Chain A
Amino acid sequence: MIEGAKWRRWVFFYIPLSAFVFTLLFPFYWMMVTAVRPDAELYRPWSAPNYAPFWTAHPTLDHITYLLQETLFSTWMLNTLFISIAATLISLFCGLLAGYALSRLKFRFAGMLGTAIFITYLVPQTLLFIPLADVVRNFHLGDTPWALILTYPTFLIPFCTWLLMGYFKAIPRELEECARIDGAARWQAMLYIIFPIAVPGILSAGIFAFTLSWNEFIYALVFLSSPAQKTVPVGVTSELIRGDVFYWGSLMAGALLGSIPVAFVYSFFVEHYVAGLTGAVKG
């Protein structure tokens, strides 16, 4: 908290904070307003006398109804959900084992391997999709959910591994040593002692992996082609922008509905992932 006179608190705390919150939330507000604005208002020229871009006097559910009834939006939602959950689970599983091994086991090249995994994370997706497209085609995975479930881990596993590695390193080694003396094999010590303590870290890795898969665009755009296979980000943008015509109302309705699951997941685990990111282990 800022100490001192009242004006200091306003200048250094409330005003910057409000500006920040406004900047962050305004796009969401714009999205919500556009989703419920009738077409007549949406396409009204800015010079019209009753032009009012920041609110609407006649809210409508037309765009949402159109989205759900006339497009494959619900299929896209299910596709995205399935792909995101599957990719997250695969990545978490691999990330847990790799993160544990890199942080705890002493073996040759452990440090180098950790760095190598990190470097793969640094390769931009916009380059990686070219060779991956070849791989996907060779395995005949194109236009199936597996094209994404198996390619998302290429960036999710390094991410999970590094996040969890840091988390495991913060857990005192003695806990595990004590468990091993108590009669647990290494895998039992890992399963019964380390993983339960690392739950906040595992949850935050999972949430981030889920969000990254949910929002992923390039791979989904390249590897999927038929409308029934698409994910929300690709489906909405490819089916609701026809040529140079933007169906703004339905687009924004799609964006709004598409962000609900992510918002839900975040709000549900908020305390855990904050603890996970700040790395607080209390012994």
Chain B
Amino acid sequence: MARVEIRNLNKTFDGVHAVKDVNLEINDKEFVVLVGPSGCGKTTTLRMVAGLESISSGEVLIGDKVVNELPPMDRDIAMVFQNYALYPHMNVYDNMAFGLKMRRFGRAEIDARVKAAAEILGIQAQLQRKPRQLSGGQRQRVALGRAIVRHPKVFLFDEPLSNLDAKLRVQMRVEIKKIHARLGTTAIYVTHDQVEAMTLGDRVVVMRDGVVQQVGEPLELYNAPANRFVAGFIGSPAMNFATVTIAADADGLLWANNEGIHIKLPAEVAGRLRKHVGESVTLGIRPEDLRAAASSDAADLAVDVIVEVVEKLGSEILLDVKVGPSTMVAAVEPTVRAKVHDQLRLALNPDRLYFFDGASQAAI
């Protein structure tokens, strides 16, 4: 058990600045997820914590001790790799026991720990098998088991579920969450899948181009994204964006306008946007905050759209619609009857409008 601290961490490969000034404090027993598109530096950051990649500048602390110069074996961490990295020439038992043997544990202790881990993961029956005789899910369990038996200070996960099929991925996700709840070991988890990040993380770190965009609890990222990138990355289907111009009318009310949108901003939002009058900003609205308008809805908080694609998911219907020059996705009630080419009026949830600065893309 330990806290992990990352201070001003940088990594440069052959002139490419892959990780830029990352600062992060991970508390004891916390489950932190690093998420971002491929090439955003999340895996490199994790590998620097593991000691597999040298640190260009900055510090990594595990349990209040600077580990920059410590080889991986002395950092007391365990890592689960995307391709499982099971030792193909050893059976499952020996795979899990390898780390303990290297650390000179007694035979009885090794046996007890391996059996205990196998029981947690439900792989007692496979202990004598070789990795190639196992299914993908079983291999992933063995890889987890190999991490668990060591009782390390920190678990590191590098996209551990990416090689599994969709159904198994959901199942293993729940399992990882359960194991973490049971063992309480500090964990850093890297993924490109925002659903994994949201469901697993106590806190989520969104990265892009080597820079941390936002750190926060999953709902915080969803409800209050720091910038347009986070807003677009978190949530599925992704948030809709449209470029609008802020205009003030004779009564001092603010309007957001473009070719397809003409909406009156609620007073609370207008306060924040007052100094952007006349500027072009980005309006963001999540698909779930759009609904088919009833006759009682105000026309100045709705958009007229043309339906282009209808996706019936059962619990909801996704409508790909054209709003003026741009397209949007709306998640509407399954009772809405809409066909392709239909004209439709969608009402916006006034409390959930997001605005991002036109230049910096930071949330306003």
Task: Give A contacts to B, CB under 8 Å.
Answer: 172, 174-175, 177-185, 188, 192-193, 196-197, 281-283
Decide if A181 touches B83 in the complex (CB within 8 Å): no
Smallest CB-CB separation from B96: which chain A residue? Answer: A182
How many A-B contacts are there with CB distance less than 8 Å? 71
B78: chain A residues within 8 A (beta carbon): 181-182
Across the interface, B87 reaches (CB within 8 A) one of A175, A180, A282, namely A175
Decide if A182 touches B89 in the complex (CB within 8 Å): no
Smallest CB-CB separation from B75: which chain A residue? Answer: A181
Smallest CB-CB separation from B78: which chain A residue? Answer: A181
Interface centre among A177, A192, A281, A282 (most CB of B within 10 A): A177
Bound CA–CA A46/B269 (angstroms): 111
**Chain B binding surface SS class:** loop
A95 to chain B, nearest CB (A): 21
Residues A180 and B71 in contact in the complex (CB < 8 Å), given A174-B83, A282-B132, A283-B83? yes
Decide if A179 touches B71 in the complex (CB within 8 Å): no
A212 to chain B, nearest CB (A): 28
Decide if B102 touches A188 in the complex (CB within 8 Å): yes
Across the interface, B52 reaches (CB within 8 A) one of A177, A185, A281, namely A177
User: Quick check: is B231 within 8 A (CB to CB) of the other chain?
Assistant: no
Across the interface, B85 reaches (CB within 8 A) one of A172, A188, A282, namely A172
A184 to chain B, nearest CB (A): 5
User: Quick check: is B32 within 8 A (CB to CB) of the other chain?
Assistant: no
Across the interface, A185 reaches (CB within 8 A) one of B71, B83, B98, B132, namely B71
Decide if B87 touches A181 in the complex (CB within 8 Å): no
Residues A182 and B88 in contact in the complex (CB < 8 Å), given A172-B83, A177-B52, A282-B132? no
User: Quick check: is B355 within 8 A (CB to CB) of the other chain?
Assistant: no
Residues A177 and B72 in contact in the complex (CB < 8 Å), given A182-B150, A183-B99, A188-B102? yes
Task: Name B54-103 residues within 8 Å CB distance of A.
Answer: 71-73, 75, 77-79, 81-89, 98-99, 102-103
Decide if B89 touches A197 in the complex (CB within 8 Å): yes
Smallest CB-CB separation from B150: which chain A residue? Answer: A182
A177 to chain B, nearest CB (A): 5
Give me 28 A-to-B residue pairs in the complex whose CB atoms sit less than 8 angstroms apart, sorted by A's number: A174-B82, A175-B85, A175-B88, A177-B50, A177-B81, A178-B79, A178-B87, A178-B146, A179-B102, A180-B51, A180-B71, A181-B50, A181-B72, A181-B73, A181-B77, A181-B79, A182-B146, A183-B99, A183-B102, A183-B150, A184-B98, A185-B73, A192-B98, A197-B88, A281-B88, A282-B88, A283-B83, A283-B131
B140 to chain A, nearest CB (A): 13
Smallest CB-CB separation from B47: which chain A residue? Answer: A177
Bound CA–CA A179/B97 (angstroms): 11
Smallest CB-CB separation from A199: which chain B residue? Answer: B89
B79: chain A residues within 8 A (beta carbon): 177-178, 181
Interface centre among B50, B77, B79, B85 (most CB of A within 10 A): B85
A246 to chain B, nearest CB (A): 52
Q: Which 8 A-B pairs have the closest CB atoms?
A: A182-B99, A183-B102, A174-B85, A178-B85, A174-B81, A180-B72, A181-B72, A196-B89
B146: chain A residues within 8 A (beta carbon): 178, 182
B89: chain A residues within 8 A (beta carbon): 196-197
Task: Name B22-44 residues within 8 Å CB distance of A.
Answer: none
Residues A178 and B102 in contact in the complex (CB < 8 Å), given A185-B73, A281-B88, A283-B88? no
Bound CA–CA A16/B79 (angstroms): 54
Decide if A177 touches B85 in the complex (CB within 8 Å): yes
Bound CA–CA A182/B102 (angstroms): 7
Known: A184-B98, A283-B131. 14 other contacts (CB 8 A): A174-B81, A175-B85, A177-B50, A178-B146, A179-B87, A180-B51, A180-B73, A181-B52, A181-B78, A182-B102, A183-B99, A183-B150, A184-B73, A283-B86
A184: chain B residues within 8 A (beta carbon): 73, 98, 102
Decide if A178 touches B88 in the complex (CB within 8 Å): no
B75: chain A residues within 8 A (beta carbon): 181
Bound CA–CA A100/B289 (angstroms): 57
Bound CA–CA A175/B95 (angstroms): 11
Bound CA–CA A148/B85 (angstroms): 42
Bound CA–CA A257/B150 (angstroms): 56
Smallest CB-CB separation from A174: which chain B residue? Answer: B85
A177: chain B residues within 8 A (beta carbon): 50, 52, 72, 79, 81, 85
Decide if B52 touches A180 in the complex (CB within 8 Å): yes
Bound CA–CA A188/B99 (angstroms): 11
A269 to chain B, nearest CB (A): 17
Interface centre among B72, B89, B146 (most CB of A within 10 A): B72
Smallest CB-CB separation from A283: which chain B residue? Answer: B88
